[in-house]
Amino acid sequence: MADTSGKPSVLFVCVHNAGRSQMAAAWLTHLAGDRVDVRSAGSAPGDQVNPAAVQAMAEVGIDISRETPKMLTVDTVRTSDVCITMGCGDACPVFPGKRYLDWKLEDPAGQGIEAVRPIRDRIRTLVEDLIADIAPSPTA
């Protein structure tokens, strides 16, 4: 079911949907508000969101502790305007007319908070650039 509100929809995809894609979805929701529909999924979802990712986002005032990894489906991709992969490569089905981006980001799996902070901060920068491109602020 495609969004009929005219808002762009963004899907973040990483293998486990437990770290990078969860942080990216949280940043986009936090920074763009209701200007963008945000989703995340994984080609092989983990059991839970990475605790270091939860802690890193909590440090900047964003709570992702209640999020759960979700399975990537063909329909999820089909109904998204922008699909951003973060290490899953060709696990995402390709549809004409969709925009595909691949963000090269280190996998935070198994890493401590010290290693996850720079990944979190890099994701914020990428998300800010994405917002400026697809959903600039009306006052901009």
14 is catalytic: yes
Q: Which of 10, 11, 13, 14 is catalytic?
A: 14
Predicted confidence pLDDT, tens digits, the chain (140 residues):
444 568 999 999 998 999 999 999 999 999 999 999 999 999 899 999 999 999 999 999 999 999 999 999 999 999 999 999 986 655 667 788 889 999 999 999 999 999 999 999 999 999 999 999 998 877 65
Distances (CA, A) of 18 to 29, 38, 73, 76: 17, 15, 16, 17
pLDDT score for 1: 40
- Return d(Cα 23, Cα 3) in angstroms, integer: 23
Q: Which of 88, 105, 130, 134 is catalytic?
A: 88
Give the CA angle between residues 22, 116, 135 to the nearest 5°: 45
pLDDT score for 136: 86
- Return d(Cα 62, Cα 59) in angstroms, integer: 7
83 is catalytic: no
Q: Which of 26, 54, 92, 134 is catalytic?
A: 92
pLDDT score for 120: 98
- Return d(Cα 73, Cα 43) in angstroms, integer: 8
Task: Identify the CATH number of the domain defined by range 9-132.
Answer: 3.40.50.2300
